[in-house]
Structure 1
Amino acid sequence: MFIDVAKIYIKAGDGGHGAVSFRREKYVPTGGPDGGDAGKGGDVIFVVDSNMSTLLDFKYKKKHIAENGQNGGSQNMYGKDGQDLIIKVPAGTLVKDAETDKVIADLTHPGQRVVVAKGGKGGKGNARFATPTRQVPDFAQPGIPGEERWVTLELKLIADVGLIGFPNVGKSTILSMVTGAKPKIANYHFTTLTPNLGVVENKGGRSFVLADIPGLIEGAHEGVGLGIDFLRHVERTRLLIHVIDVSGIEGRNPIDDFEMINNELVKYSKKLADKPQIVAANKLDIPGAEENFLLLKEYLDKKGIKVFRISAATNQGLRELMLYAGGILDTIPVEEEEYEMFIPEERKFEYEIYREDSGVYVVSGSFVDRLLLKVDIYNSESLKYFHKVLTNKGIIDELKKHGIKDGDIVRMNDFEFEFVE
């Protein structure tokens, strides 16, 4: 089975929580703070594995979660960082943010690595909060959650030359004759449901990777048949060999076939349609094919398109075709594909303030969520730290601008307190 599109959920590890701890010494009921910092959460890293050729593994496993960082410990012990999660993918995999459809990474060569979700930072232990005036802090900092998102993986074959054409025109046979690939071959339509790759080793010429891509039919740009899947794989090739059946045994017109295939390419992508193209007129070993070939050649000569006489079944003309294709590749520059890249939002702890009809002032947002995690509302030292943070971050001043007065109620999530200036 060949799977070339998969949607998976990834989550980096959460940062561990800082520790609240105090030294235990003889005759000293509560020594100084010695709570250690926590470890960072593991990243989710995608790595290209040259031994993989499909996205089949992701059909059965949809959730991928990295290890959380360990909490800090007593005696200033640091928590261990969470282990990174390595996800292996084949070369040619596009990683997209599923929500925006923007590209996070284009993984093209073996060993390439990219961090797709970053682990959260670990929280600081209470030893970090000790000051000359706050010598016994009994609160610590929580860890930051790791990034999480749904991503879409798209596999596009990385081949120098792509064989295109209608189903059953002989593309698979050509691939089997000129490379070591062994695709399934039979005399019925849509035999090739998945792309096949092979290496053409031209003696005395340039070797290259050749892709036999699923047959195209009219309406492919709208998803008819194998259309969109077919076109996705053609996008990365640098040269197209358009295989046309000139035997006429199925009552087809070679010129019509040529135009129909190219019309589909134009409708899908002008860039794709503008790729260099040569034509392989196949099945010339069948009686009656010669007349169709001459008509096709006359038509293509006017367009300046090179056409080769071949018979994939008898190996006629294939060496000349492959040598010519290898030579053409040296004249075609390798283009870097341009995508609309995904830029993750900078993780900021923000807040907003508004006044309800009841007169309660509400402060909400990610800043509030994080602050309340590290505040013990039943602890006076922790509440002093809480008030200091509100002052330093400008929240007290913002509340005043909103008209707050002594005695008014402020709500932060489920925590309410009376404002006193």
Structure 2
Amino acid sequence: MFIDRAKITVKAGSGGNGMSSFRREKYVPRGGPSGGDGGRGANVVLMGDANLNTLIDFRYKRQFKANNGANGQSSNMHGRGAEDLLIKVPPGTIIRDEATNQILGDITEPGQMVIVAKGGRGGRGNARFVNSVNRAPTFAELGEPGEEQTLLLELKLLADVGLLGYPSVGKSSILSMVSAAKPEIAAYHFTTLSPVLGVVSIAEGRNFVLADIPGLIEGAHEGVGLGHDFLRHIERTKVLIHVLDVSGIEGRDPIEDFHKINNELKLYNEKLFKRAQIVAANKMDLPEAQENYQQVADYMKAAGHEIYPISAATGEGLQVLMQRASQLLDAYVEEPEEIEEAKVYEAKPEDEFSITREDDGAFVVQGDNIEKLVAMTRFGDEEGLRRFQAIWRKLGIDAELRARGIQEGDTVRIGDMEFEFRP
């Protein structure tokens, strides 16, 4: 089954907790702090795998959670960092953040990796907090939580040459004749309901990937028929072979069909319309096609299009057609990538925060620094609590809450934690 869209949730590993301990060795009566740091949590990484050509695996498993880092130990032993979680996807996969629709990565090569969620750093052990004022700190940090994201995966086939045209013009038959691919072939429309890839060998060391794109119809750029589901698979092709049924035995005008399909390409993506395109006049084994061919050929040549008479049923003309497609591939010049509107990131001070008021009267404090501080503080440790309060005041949060009119007993919410305000 061909699946080219998926939604998954990924959770990077949290950092290991720092250790609070002191040396307890013989002949060391005043052993100092010796708590080690926690290990870093695992990143979640998507990696291209040449053995995959569909996103079907994500139909059954949609949640991925990476391992946490190991906790720090006594004697200044640091916890082990967790190994990254690798998730394999087929080359051609675009990764988007569901919340913002921003592209996080585009995997086009086997082995290419994109980090989609970063693991949290390990908490520092109490040995890290020794200073001239506090020679024996008792507190240690908790590990930083790992990032969590919902991702949208979209597969665009990585094919060199694409076959397009109306349903039942013979695209699948052509693919089956020139490659080892075995698409379903039958005498009814929309036999092919998913793209099919095949490798065409021209000579030793010379081959290319050919894609049978399911039949496009008028209105496809608006999603009619198979529409957007398959138009995007043409986007990465370098050369297009436009297959026409010149026999007209189904009552269709091949010239009219040619213009309708190209109009759909133009409306969907102007660059596709301008891509190198050659015409394959199919079904030349039929008398009707031989009668109509000259008229169609004269029209295409006058319009500046190359046309090749072929028969997918007998194989006539297919070798010449594939050789010409190969020549156009060799002459292809990579087009500059269309860059989506850039997302501008502004450098913000680490101590920046915002305060809002919710309907239940709670004051909500948001900011990267304060939220990390809350997540990594052991509130059951008195020394850790005092440190939190000192940083809280240093950041100016206490003063800002008072300026906003907070009263004793009001609720302050930071991330998943709630506090009762006490002057």
Under a length normalisation based on structure 2, what TM-score does the superposition of the two structures give? 0.89
CA contact (8 A) 2:15 2:68 kept: yes
CA contact (8 A) 1:206 1:327 kept: no
Moved more, 132-141 or 370-379: 370-379
What amino acid is the match of 1:268?
Y
Q: Match of 2:62? A: 62
Q: Match of 2:107? A: 107
Q: Match of 2:338? A: 338
Indicate the RMSD between aligned Cα atoms, in angstroms: 3.1
Q: Match of 1:41? A: 41
Q: 1:237 to 1:409 in 2, by over 3 A?
A: same
What is the alpha-carbon distance in structure 1 between the residues aligned to residue 73 and residue 384 of structure 2?
A: 19
What amino acid is the match of 1:388?
A
Deviation at 1:85, TM superposition (A): 0.5
Deviation at 1:342, TM superposition (A): 6.6
Identity %: 54
CA contact (8 A) 1:354 1:362 kept: yes
Deviation at 1:333, TM superposition (A): 0.5
Q: Match of 1:273? A: 273
What is the alpha-carbon distance in structure 1 between the residues aligned to residue 358 and residue 269 of structure 2?
A: 53
What is the alpha-carbon distance in structure 1 between the residues aligned to residue 357 and residue 320 of structure 2?
A: 80
What is the alpha-carbon distance in structure 2 between the residues aligned to residue 197 and residue 36 of structure 1?
A: 54
Superimposed CA distance per residue, residues 164-212 of structure 1 (whole angstroms, 9 cap, x where no aligned partner): 0011111111111112222222222111112122222223995322111
State the aligned residue count.
Answer: 416
Q: Match of 1:130? A: 130
Q: What aligned pairs does 1:110-259 form with structure 2 within 5 A after superposition?
A: 110-203=110-203, 207-259=207-259
Deviation at 1:35, TM superposition (A): 1.5
CA contact (8 A) 2:355 2:365 kept: yes
Q: Match of 2:384? A: 382
Deviation at 1:390, TM superposition (A): 3.3
What amino acid is the match of 1:322?
M
Moved more, 337-346 or 39-48: 337-346
Could you say what secondary structure the match of 1:202 adopts?
Answer: strand
CA contact (8 A) 2:140 2:378 kept: no
What is the alpha-carbon distance in structure 2 between the residues aligned to residue 361 and residue 290 of structure 1?
A: 81
Q: Match of 1:370? A: 372
Superimposed CA distance per residue, residues 278-328 of structure 1 (whole angstroms, 9 cap, x where no aligned partner): 110100111221232222222212210111111110111111111111112
Q: What aligned pairs does 1:275-294 form with structure 2 within 5 A after superposition?
A: 275-294=275-294
What is the alpha-carbon distance in structure 1 between the residues aligned to residue 385 and residue 145 of structure 2?
A: 24
Q: What aligned pairs does 1:16-95 form with structure 2 within 5 A after superposition?
A: 16-25=16-25, 31-95=31-95
Could you say what secondary structure the match of 2:96 adopts?
Answer: strand
Deviation at 1:112, TM superposition (A): 1.1
What amino acid is the match of 1:293?
Y
What amino acid is the match of 1:393?
L
Deviation at 1:388, TM superposition (A): 3.3
What is the alpha-carbon distance in structure 2 between the residues aligned to residue 62 and residue 356 of structure 1?
A: 33
What amino acid is the match of 1:415?
F
Deviation at 1:355, TM superposition (A): 9.0
What is the alpha-carbon distance in structure 2 between the residues aligned to residue 398 and residue 145 of structure 1?
A: 27
CA contact (8 A) 2:42 2:84 kept: yes
Q: Match of 1:298? A: 298
Q: 1:122 to 1:343 in 2, by over 3 A?
A: farther
CA contact (8 A) 1:198 1:210 kept: yes
Could you say what secondary structure the match of 1:201 adopts?
Answer: strand
CA contact (8 A) 1:139 1:374 kept: no
What amino acid is the match of 2:372?
R
Deviation at 1:27, TM superposition (A): 9.5
CA contact (8 A) 1:20 1:34 kept: yes
Gap runs ≥5 in structure 2: none
Moved more, 240-249 or 347-356: 347-356
Under a length normalisation based on structure 1, what TM-score does the superposition of the two structures give? 0.89
Superimposed CA distance per residue, residues 347-369 of structure 1 (whole angstroms, 9 cap, x where no aligned partner): 95643357999xx9957224444
Gap runs ≥5 in structure 1: none
Could you say what secondary structure the match of 1:244 adopts?
Answer: strand
What amino acid is the match of 2:419?
F
CA contact (8 A) 1:11 1:65 kept: yes
Deviation at 1:403, TM superposition (A): 8.6
Q: Match of 1:323? A: 323
Moved more, 303-312 or 360-369: 360-369
CA contact (8 A) 2:39 2:121 kept: yes
What is the alpha-carbon distance in structure 1 between the residues aligned to residue 362 and residue 225 of structure 2?
A: 59
Correspondence 1:351 to 2:369: no
What amino acid is the match of 1:352?
S
